[in-house]
Amino acid sequence: MKKDLNFVVKLTTNCPANCMCCINRQKEIKFKNENNSIFDITVFEKICIKIKKMGATYVCLSGGEPTMVSNIDEYFKIAHSNGLSVRLNTNGWGVTKEKIAKWLSLGLEQVVLSIYSLDRNVIRKTRGNEALLDKSLEAAEIIKNHKKENDFVFIIQTVIMKQNYSEMSKLLEFAFFNKADLFWTSYLEDAINLSEIRMEKKDIENFKRETIPKMKSIIEKHISNTNHKENLKFNINKLYKQEYDDYIYHDTDFDCHWLGVHLTFYPNGTIYPCPGHEYFSSTCQYNINYESIDDFLTLDSLNKNVNNKPHNCKYCPQGIFSDIIINENEIYKY
């Protein structure tokens, strides 16, 4: 079955956080010909019209932190009017009960909430803004309450780092408590360059010896279906099951599931054909004048990216970490 087309629009590169895992993204994107501008709404409408014709079913609003865009409702309205559902990637900064209700009425179908820790000191160290913890916790509570009466997918996402790997069991419990449908435990994408936060061999051994058993016990506590329970424990066992020399995750012949189906759009006209660019200095990019977006956005253009694998692809762990699907009834929307 062909993976759905995945288009991500960075409404802004501005963000209240200063995450350690985003150091290279800040250097390559936020502070390079960008000036934290807002994505032009007329260009966004053109993109929505084109990707719908290409067969897309949704568009992802991301950042930076997209909820910092004061007129974000208008982007939801445009996507909705063009028959697209919306996925929202957020750290929870601008999430309120009223806004979530409004966005749900305008086609919000997936909410991805990034939480790296439940410890205030760890948040201060890894995300640079202690207030972000309170915002994220409030957002999780709001989203949980809306799920009682609305049909949408809630995903809690984290990045495994040296500073937070021991908290993965707590974050998994947090995901269950807040009625999340999935728990994304992503490997640190730029481990090769970010020595301060990447897990070394001793950290990986501690993670496998101490944290994974705790995660499996949480699955035992919350999941009653035997097959589902065993599948989840199988996926948890796969976390860091294999060690990778020099943080090389792929050989040059690997089949990347993103190339040919994905584009990320930035306000300044930079477009990337894969999500891994956010953590690497990637030459695999386009720089266009958005006035010519109609000519650029075609299925033929997408297909040209399938074999275009830059050197740094080998350091990207996309496709090797395992998602923890808490609510198997929502898999069809994943």
- How far is Cα of residue 212 from the mean position of the Cα atoms in its chain? 22
pLDDT score recorded for residue 322: 78
Name 130's Cβ contacts closer than 8 Å, sequence gap at least 6: 120, 123, 124
What band does 156 get if pLDDT is binned at 50, 70 and 90? very high
What band does 226 get if pLDDT is binned at 50, 70 and 90? very high
CA distance 320 to 123: 26
The CATH class for the domain spanning 6-333 reads alpha beta
List residues bridging with 161 in a β-sheet: none
pLDDT score recorded for residue 329: 72
List residues bridging with 154 in a β-sheet: 111
Asked if residues 318 and 282 have their Cβ atoms less than 8 Å apart, the reply is no
3-state secondary structure of 114: strand
pLDDT score recorded for residue 69: 96
Side-chain-side CA neighbours of residue 103 (13 Å): 28
Label residue 18 exposed, middle or buried (CB < 10 Å: 0-12, 13-18, 19+): middle
pLDDT score recorded for residue 274: 81
What band does 311 get if pLDDT is binned at 50, 70 and 90? confident
Of 71-75, 116-120, 290-294, 319-323, minimum mean pLDDT range: 319-323
CA distance 241 to 208: 8
Residue pLDDT, tens place only, 254-301: 788 888 899 999 998 989 888 777 766 666 788 889 999 999 999 888
Beta strand 262-265 with 182-187: parallel, antiparallel or unpaired? unpaired
Tokens encoding 222: 């919350």
Residue 202: CB atoms within 10 A of its CB come to 9
pLDDT score recorded for residue 2: 46
Tokens encoding 54: 């290409």
Maximum distance among all alpha carbons in the chain? 54
Asked if residues 172 and 183 have their Cβ atoms less than 8 Å apart, the reply is yes
Residue 69: CB atoms within 10 A of its CB come to 20
3-state secondary structure of 284: coil
What band does 217 get if pLDDT is binned at 50, 70 and 90? very high
- To the question of pTM greater than 0.85 for the whole model, the response is yes
Burial string for 302-320 (b: 16+ CB within 10 Å, else e) reads beebeeebbebbbbbbbeb
- CA neighbor of 165 nearest in space, from 247, 239, 64, 232: 239
Write down the residue that tokens 């040296």 correspond to.
Answer: 162
Tokens encoding 267: 């306000």
Asked if residues 44 and 52 have their Cβ atoms less than 8 Å apart, the reply is no
Q: Return the amino acid letter for 206.
A: N
Domain ranges of the chain: 6-333
CA distance 302 to 259: 8
Name 117's Cβ contacts closer than 8 Å, sequence gap at least 6: 123, 126, 127, 133, 163, 164, 167, 171
Q: Return the amino acid letter for 213.
A: P
